Structure 1
Amino acid sequence: MEQPERQSSFRKCSSAIKTKVVNNLNPVCHSGLELTLKGKFLVAHNHGKSIPGKLVSVQIYSGTEVDPNTGKGKLSEKAYFKHGGSNKNQHDAQTMTYTTRVHVDSHFGIPRAFLIQNNYQKFFLLSASIETSNNQIIYYDCNSWIYPFKKTKSDRLFFSNRCYLPIQTPRALVELRKEELDRLRGNGTGERNEWDRIYDYDCYNDLSDPDKGPDHLRPILGGSKLYPYPRRGRTGRKPSLAGPSTESRPQALNFDIYVPSDERFGPNKLKELKSNCIHAMIHFLPPKAESLLQKNSRSFDSFEEILDMFSSNRNRKVEGWIRDNLKKMIPVEHLKEITRTMKKNPPKFPIPQIISENEWTWKDDIEFGRQMLAGTHPVKIQCLKNFPPKSKFGVESSINPLIIEPKLEGWTLPQALEQGRIFMLDHHDYIIPFLNRMNKNGICAYASRTILFLRSDGMLKPMAIELSLPGSSLGYEVPKVFVPAKQGTEAALWQLAKAHVLANDAVYHQLMSHWLHTHAVVEPFIIATKRRLSVMHPIHRILNPHFKDTMHVNALARLILINSGGILERTLFPGEFSMQISSELYKEWRFDEQGLPADLLKRGIAIEDSDVNNPTGIKLILQDYPYAIDGLEIWVAIKKWVNSFCSFFYNNNDAAIKADVELQGWWSEIRTHGHSDKQSETWWYEMTTLTNLVEALTTLIWTASAQHASLNYGQYDYNGYPPNRPTLCRKFIPNEGTTEFGEFLKDPDKFLLNMLPDRFEMSLAVALVNVLSQHTCDEVYLGCKSSPGWIDNELIQNIFAEFREELKDIQTRILERNRDPKLKNRRGPANIEYTLLYPKMSSSSGSKHETMARGIPNSISI
């Protein structure tokens, strides 16, 4: 059913507003036969050359007047790009403006779409606007590569920023809407080319590299009960020669892997990412010759040597083996430019904050506990209600309550449990089944449980660590228990035990909380959105900013991070079992538990609260939990914005949600295709009410923005100094009476250094987190508009402005909390201010650390 183009409202509009809206919908009819539509197109070039005349043409579709011959909107004649000026921005791209003048008859109607044909080389179209003869400006957010017609064999279609539910689509746009969605789905066959815009699903069958030999075989993730996994974007590459079920792999050094052209980085982003990688490689990685000389001396000899990694004296020229490999992964002109820049302004790497004030703070037990609440991985701590804890296999912890009770500030253990003062960092059940296989590869890993007590000052005091190895029979384990000590042998053993716990936590952080629970689970939502929701659909419009660059980032991760022999296998102790563990934990993933309130309830950190004045619906039992306190404010702001947005377009009508064919197809495809290994689960929301839609969208936006920011951008501050968060251990804790115990007693610090990752592993891990922690040049932050006319609706823009103001208020409250001396977890012994959920509503410049540690990007963009 066609409905006239109009402004909706929460309540009946005043007659004055109605008059204004009606007038805006009808172009002024001039006495002549022609009107002129003025087009403006913003293009980003890296090559700095303008597009030659008549190589790019534009045709405009009416959104209100139908051509009886085609059943689509009236289509204008072609008009050609005319260069209208340029300016070079700080990120090297030449932003050029092109104009067109399109003549149409006086009954053409309102332009709501345009076709663009490119007979030049590819370029990146940032945005477009079309001005009508009555000075109305129609905006188009594009942000896409436009490839040559000889490659695509079709013109590119863009719709304006006006939103319509399917049933409200003007008749002039109905067929265009359908054709565009059909085009994006493709037919599910064939190898994809760089210029394609086809979205389809596939399993993770491209992590293996069987052509390199059996050591590079990995399970296919997704499509089986044994190895369930979210789906990723299909590339259609040919099978590997040695393994027909495995997709062949592209050359990693080229950073070249298919993602739909709308999902590819803009012209500066990939160049910037490569540049950051090169800077980090040159600064942190030892030269090849040096690493070969260190075959018999793999460890750092002192903590001072580790600190030397951050010295400015380590800057080296781009030469030798590094230069030879860089030539394969980056165009020569870019490499020359990066080399010139490095000579002129050598990159400076800040000292990670964990050691910036005191190089030994990382050893502090209170800092160890604080980072579970305000560090780079604050999402794993849980509150215990029963003691001792049991595993899912029925194995009871060997931690004796008698060693805990004397440290409870006068509480009995039952009282402390009842009052919510006993906490656990649990890295036991998921690791135990893999330990025997992992520990055959020169790795020395335990499963761990860490018990902590909530002190009266709000800080967590570690009380015991249990490290376990599998026993000789199923269900039998060999545990060791360690307790804090101030000095002597017990204190040194305690430090070794903490290192093993931190290695467990670093693995869970990277593979599960960071990769699986943000990057991997969001990708199927992106694919389904592009396949099932028209760009004109309001839900597409609200979600799209939160999907920017994610598919490209994930594709690069499959290329160089999570693949066989990739960086994560080289730096994390599970090695070749890394992604298998990730798959095992996907079995426990539930979408309805990914929202922050639900997560806090599940971990026992909060209880339900029926107070109608509490928008979170929960009450925290930890009053000084920076991640949760800041996060809940962000969550409430997102949910309020989403609720207002959805209420407007669906007019608070559940029936409209049920009747929305695109929305229903989207939600169904997420379950049956994107997360198809979970499709039979009963916890999926029924997409039949406004409440469920708002909860689903809030969860998705929270995951892609604030949750990812809290897990990613603090990595350099904490993980950048490897002793604070080692990624693996190369020694077990020695048993008394052994030769190794004698070595430990002789020099405990030297033993710890030998237990930590070697020079190359440590350097590679630091280089990685340095790159991952940096915000990119074209970042758009939560609450910020990507363009002035991002949606063609004044009321929605006003509601979004309210969302932005609320985020500004949250910023102020975060800074106030950080200054409150009673909230000790906001800074802790390391004096690291908690700003990982600071929205960053201003563009004020600051130190490189501020660039890393502040700001919530809209999307998983790195």
Structure 2
Amino acid sequence: MTSEVELKLKGLLDCKNSWKKLDDIRMAFWFYRSPVAEYVSRHWDEDAFFGYQYLNGVNPVIIRKCVEMPAKFPVTHEMVAGSLGKHTTLDNELKKGTIFLIDCWILEGVPATKLNGSLQYISAPLCLLHLTRLGEMIPIAIQLTQQPGAESPIFLPTDSEWDWALAKFWVRNSTFYIHEVLTHLLSTHLVVEAFILATLHHLPMCHPIYKLLIPHFRYTLHINVLGRVNLFAPEGLIEQATGTGFHGVSHLLAKGLSTLTYSTLCLPDDLRDRGVESLPNYYYKDDALKLWEAIESFVSGIVALYYRSDCCVKEDSELQAWVAEIFDKCFFGRESSGNFDYGAWMPNYPSSMRKPPPKSKGSVTFRDILDTLPDVSTTCSTLLILWLLSREPGDRRPLGCYPDEHFTEERAKQVISAFQKRLAQITKEIEERNKRLLLPYHYLSPPEIENSTSI
């Protein structure tokens, strides 16, 4: 029996009402329970866990160091003094590099859709976070729009319980859109597709770069076609479960593509640009850098066997045509172009908001929270989407697994072997680190990484 049938039997997919209480969401949560998902369901409303997720949660690539408060987010020391503690000021913490920012500016102007006959709402919030002496990342101020003013108050942890909770819901909702549409759909599936098509158009099977890349393209076109048909097409599942709908996704993709550069796809450059290269307890960063260095060494080792100089690269007409197509189709020729565990518990990762952002503080009730979060049907539809997106192929191949022999030269085989040994070492290092963590971070452990974009 499929999960969708089970949900229908419970009458949840057809229920258009608000949840009566948040704990009722467990009725739709039972079919996928992992230790991490259970942890999320218990701690999702804690400020420390809210901040932790921007380091090691679903989308750990949007947090950046804040060295100066932007004019559009006029937070003062008096507002956050209670969060910063004694003997310090906001200016001092900015200088020390312990203030961080989530800025969802890219969502401004993205149109919302209707779900179950009701208009949904999208905002573009800003969230200020503080790295405490204990190493916790704590939210200390939230503004729900990009325009400060009387009708866009700054929400604080010292506000009423439901004011602060609703403000955090808006930030998590915005994170949902940015992750699913930009980090996931655009920067993995669609960008990789551009590389795949360029490879198939210009590199013959005997070309060393074809041999290097082709194992990492397995099933990607297949899953992208399925996504276009079942998820992102008009009237598809995205239209039924998220506040953006198909039109909003298209609008957001266009904005995201206009900002895409080679640097945003280059991990060390991205970490440096966001000012987070030395951020503690950032396990995503720690593990990703080890993988980046291992992959870079592997790729450089293979490429060096076939290209002895820049001149060799320049004179390879097939390779030049490959690069030109990627530059044109993926970056539009611009010279400046340089998971389910956390989403299964809907309050941690709402896919839509049914009421507009509040324009004042002090009047939000728990009923307002329930009437703003996704209704029962939308919650269940979103769970199904996340479940479908997270399912792995039955014949999965982890990173560095090459059962199909493309390189026959002994030196190339030695480079591959060295890469696989380094991945095994990284796996052991992550396992040892995780033994010391209350909530293990395993998402970038090599056995957990698919060799290609296939889910």
| TM-score computed with the length of structure 1 as normaliser | 0.50
AA in 1 matched with 2:333: Q
Query: Is structure 2 residue 378 aligned with structure 1 residue 761?
Result: yes
Structure 1 or 2: more helix by fraction = 2
Residue 458 of structure 1 deviates from its aligned partner by 1.8
Distance across 2 between alignment mates of 1:430 and 1:438: 21
Distance across 1 between alignment mates of 2:353 and 2:202: 46
Query: Is structure 2 residue 29 aligned with structure 1 residue 310?
Result: yes
Residue 435 of structure 1 deviates from its aligned partner by 6.0
Q: Deviations over 1:660-687 (max 9, x none)?
A: 1211111122223x23x62142545xxx
Distance across 2 between alignment mates of 1:309 and 1:492: 24
Q: CA 1:753–1:436 in structure 2 vs 1: closer, same or farther (change >3 Å)?
A: closer
Match of 2:6 among 261, 269, 283: 283
Higher Cα Rg, which structure: 1
Match of 1:421 among 95, 98, 123: 98
Residue 361 of structure 1 deviates from its aligned partner by 0.9
Aligned to 2:287: 630
Distance across 1 between alignment mates of 2:386 and 2:6: 13
Match of 2:431 among 798, 804, 815: 815
Corresponding residue SS for 1:444: coil
Query: Is structure 2 residue 449 aligned with structure 1 residue 833?
Result: no
Kept in 2: contact 1:811–1:838 (CA 8 A): yes
Residue 573 of structure 1 deviates from its aligned partner by 1.6
Aligned to 2:89: 412
Q: Which runs of 5+ in 2 are unaligned?
A: none
Q: CA 1:495–1:630 in structure 2 vs 1: closer, same or farther (change >3 Å)?
A: same
Q: CA 1:415–1:452 in structure 2 vs 1: closer, same or farther (change >3 Å)?
A: same
Aligned to 2:311: 655
Q: CA 1:285–1:464 in structure 2 vs 1: closer, same or farther (change >3 Å)?
A: farther
Q: Deviations over 1:716-764 (max 9, x none)?
A: 21101111111111124556799xx4xx54xx2x432222111111101
Aligned to 1:372: 54
Aligned to 2:77: 401
Distance across 2 between alignment mates of 1:501 and 1:719: 14
AA in 1 matched with 2:397: V
Match of 1:362 among 44, 47, 52: 44
AA in 1 matched with 2:20: D
Corresponding residue SS for 1:779: coil
Corresponding residue SS for 1:434: coil
Distance across 1 between alignment mates of 2:112 and 2:384: 30
Aligned to 2:352: 728
Query: Is structure 2 residue 164 aligned with structure 1 residue 494?
Result: yes
Distance across 2 between alignment mates of 1:406 and 1:481: 15
Q: How does 1:358-757 map to 2 (within 5 A)?
A: 359-387=41-69, 389-390=70-71, 396-409=72-85, 410-427=87-104, 429-434=105-110, 442-468=119-145, 478-485=151-158, 490-575=160-245, 576-605=247-276, 620-650=277-307, 652-672=308-328, 674-675=329-330, 678-683=332-337, 715-732=339-356, 741=363, 744-745=364-365, 748=366, 750-757=367-374
Kept in 1: contact 2:123–2:357 (CA 8 A): no
Distance across 2 between alignment mates of 1:381 and 1:438: 30
Distance across 2 between alignment mates of 1:479 and 1:764: 31
Distance across 2 between alignment mates of 1:358 and 1:645: 42
AA in 2 matched with 1:816: E
Distance across 1 between alignment mates of 2:384 and 2:281: 32
Distance across 2 between alignment mates of 1:406 and 1:305: 34
Q: Deviations over 1:625-658 (max 9, x none)?
A: 01100000000000001111111112x3222111
Corresponding residue SS for 2:106: coil
Query: Is structure 2 residue 422 aligned with structure 1 residue 806?
Result: yes
Corresponding residue SS for 2:432: helix
Distance across 2 between alignment mates of 1:642 and 1:357: 38
Over the matched positions of the two proteins, sequence identity in percent amounts to 28
Coordinate RMSD, CA, aligned: 2.6
Q: Which runs of 5+ in 1 are unaligned?
A: 1-277, 312-348, 391-395, 606-619, 685-714, 821-826, 841-854
Aligned to 2:20: 301
* Larger RCO, structures 1/2 (Cα 8 Å, 6+ apart): 2
Match of 1:856 among 421, 424, 449: 449
Residue 411 of structure 1 deviates from its aligned partner by 2.9
Distance across 1 between alignment mates of 2:299 and 2:196: 18
Kept in 2: contact 1:398–1:479 (CA 8 A): no
Distance across 1 between alignment mates of 2:13 and 2:427: 45
AA in 1 matched with 2:439: I
AA in 2 matched with 1:280: S
Distance across 2 between alignment mates of 1:286 and 1:512: 34
Residue 358 of structure 1 deviates from its aligned partner by 7.4
Kept in 2: contact 1:547–1:860 (CA 8 A): yes
Residue 380 of structure 1 deviates from its aligned partner by 0.6
Residue 436 of structure 1 deviates from its aligned partner by 8.4
Residue 307 of structure 1 deviates from its aligned partner by 0.5
Corresponding residue SS for 1:282: helix
Q: CA 1:648–1:735 in structure 2 vs 1: closer, same or farther (change >3 Å)?
A: closer
Structure 1 or 2: more strand by fraction = 1
Distance across 2 between alignment mates of 1:861 and 1:812: 25
Distance across 1 between alignment mates of 2:171 and 2:416: 43
**Greater displacement, 532-541 / 396-405:** 396-405
AA in 2 matched with 1:730: R
| TM-score computed with the length of structure 2 as normaliser | 0.92
Residue 413 of structure 1 deviates from its aligned partner by 2.2
Residue 445 of structure 1 deviates from its aligned partner by 3.1
Q: CA 1:353–1:751 in structure 2 vs 1: closer, same or farther (change >3 Å)?
A: farther
Q: Deviations over 1:253-296 (max 9, x none)?
A: xxxxxxxxxxxxxxxxxxxxxxxxx8232233467x7755x45x
Kept in 2: contact 1:285–1:764 (CA 8 A): no
Kept in 2: contact 1:722–1:762 (CA 8 A): yes
Residue 301 of structure 1 deviates from its aligned partner by 1.5
Kept in 1: contact 2:29–2:344 (CA 8 A): no
Residue 556 of structure 1 deviates from its aligned partner by 1.4
Aligned to 1:784: 401
Q: CA 1:378–1:285 in structure 2 vs 1: closer, same or farther (change >3 Å)?
A: farther
Distance across 2 between alignment mates of 1:353 and 1:819: 14
AA in 1 matched with 2:97: G
AA in 1 matched with 2:318: E
Q: Deviations over 1:489-530 (max 9, x none)?
A: 711211111111100000100001110111111111101101
AA in 1 matched with 2:310: D
AA in 2 matched with 1:681: E
Corresponding residue SS for 1:584: helix
Distance across 1 between alignment mates of 2:12 and 2:78: 51
Distance across 1 between alignment mates of 2:25 and 2:209: 49
Q: CA 1:435–1:478 in structure 2 vs 1: closer, same or farther (change >3 Å)?
A: farther
Corresponding residue SS for 1:858: coil
Distance across 1 between alignment mates of 2:49 and 2:428: 25
Aligned to 1:328: none
Corresponding residue SS for 2:260: coil
